Amino acid sequence: MPYSVCILRRGNSRQGGRGRPPGASGSLKAESQEKRRVKQELENTALMPSPPLDPQSPFASMKGHHVALRVPDFEASKRWYVEKLDFRVLDQWISEDPPLRLAYLAPANNDLFYIELIGDGSYQPKPHYTNLSDSLRQAGYHHFCLNVANLDNTIAELRRRGVTIVKEAFEVEAINRRLAFFSDPWGNLIELAQIIAKR
């Protein structure tokens, strides 16, 4: 699977060399020290409880609000999110320095998360990815995520509307999610997530 996930559970780590076929220890020795360190950190993290909320933090008022997307064509981008994803345009305004047009858009039935489109003017184009593995080699911002009730139905409707599906549905048991990825015409990746029952 291109989007590799390490699923760790208490008591699942292998001990010593018991049960391994002859020669298998050689492949373990070939594994880099950095990979072993990362695996150990992941295992330690998986066994830790989630930290509690901290209302006493000086940053306790921080809450997620929006993700900004720099787009080359403001009107075309706005139209795509409205027509393909049923987003609603909530506000529009103009920046004078540099001269740009901006807008807040929100999903069809949710006012708690926005995307901000920043359009027009000069820009540097993003790479356009056809698979998720290639996109994960690019440092920095990668995608934003939208929760959905039924992942398969959502993908089917996106495909019916001509939206590019970058990664078909797959399950990540470690976080109790089914995920998929699609892209807008300007290379911005969007993740879909459906919560599934714990096993």
For residue range 135-175, list pLDDT tens digits in order: 777 676 789 999 999 999 999 999 999 999 999 999 998 89
Whole-model pTM: value is 0.72
Q: Assign 43 to helix, strand or coil.
A: helix
Is the link from the previous residue into 55 a cis peptide, with omega within 30 of 0? no
CB 161 within 8 A of CB 85: no
- pLDDT value of position 11: 38
Sign, CA torsion 169/9/20/31: positive
Tokens of 121: 């003017």
Mean pLDDT of 64-71: 93
Q: What is the CA radius of gyration of the chain?
A: 21
pLDDT band at 182 (very low <50, low <70, confident <90, very high): very high
Q: 132: which 2 tokens?
A: 């998720």
**Among residues of the chain, what percentage have pLDDT more than 70?**
77
Element (H, E) at 91: strand 88-96
Q: Between the CA atoms of 139, 94, 75 and 125, what dihedral angle is there, to the nearest 10 degrees?
A: -30
**pLDDT per position as a tens digit, 18-67:** 455 555 555 556 567 777 776 666 666 655 688 899 999 999 999 999 99
Angstrom distances, CA of residue 198 to CA of 102, 176, 182, 193: 41, 6, 26, 15
Residue reference for tokens 């440092």: 139
The contacts found for 103-112 with CB under 8 angstroms, 24 or more apart, are 103/74, 103/78, 104/66, 105/78, 105/81, 107/146
Task: State mean pLDDT over 95-117.
Answer: 94
Burial of 167 (0-12, 13-18, 19+ CB in 10 A): buried
* Domains in the chain, CATH or no CATH each: 63-123 (3.10.180.10), 126-199 (3.10.180.10)
Is the pLDDT assigned to residue 13 strictly greater than 70? no
